[in-house]
Amino acid sequence: MKVYGIDFTSAPSKRKPITSADCTLENGSLHLNNFLNLTTFQQFDDFLSSGKDWIAGFDFPLANQKN
């Protein structure tokens, strides 16, 4: 099974891409295959709609807003 660990950024660019660890879960072990750097929201959208079966964990930037 494909497993992705995704470090999301709200403003992807070449300097600060959406970064994903591309892994495979096989026989109870997680194997790191590659890192993906997605520099645009279009690349991220293409990644999400790739049609492959996968599961992911996301690290989203959350702002602490004070009223």
Report how far residue 8's alpha carbon sits from residue 17's, in angstroms, rounded to the nearest whole number.
Answer: 8
Report how far residue 2's alpha carbon sits from residue 24's, in angstroms, rounded to the nearest whole number.
Answer: 5
Evaluate if residue 64 carries a pLDDT over 90. no
Report the number of distinct structural domains present in the chain: 1
In a domain, 67, yes or no: no
Instruction: Tell the residue number behind the tokens 């690290």, with chain if given.
Output: 59
In a domain, 32, yes or no: yes
In a domain, 34, yes or no: yes
In a domain, 26, yes or no: yes
In a domain, 37, yes or no: yes
pLDDT in tens, 24-52: 999 999 999 999 999 999 999 999 898 77
State in Å, rounded, how far the first CA of the chain is from the last one. Answer: 43
Provide the domain limits for residue 47: 2-59
CB atoms within 10 A of CB 44: 19
pLDDT in tens, 10-20: 899 999 999 99
CB 3, CB 30: distance < 8 Å:
yes
In a domain, 38, yes or no: yes
User: Which amino acid, 12?
Assistant: P
Kindly report the pTM of this predicted structure: 0.80
pLDDT score, position 10: 87
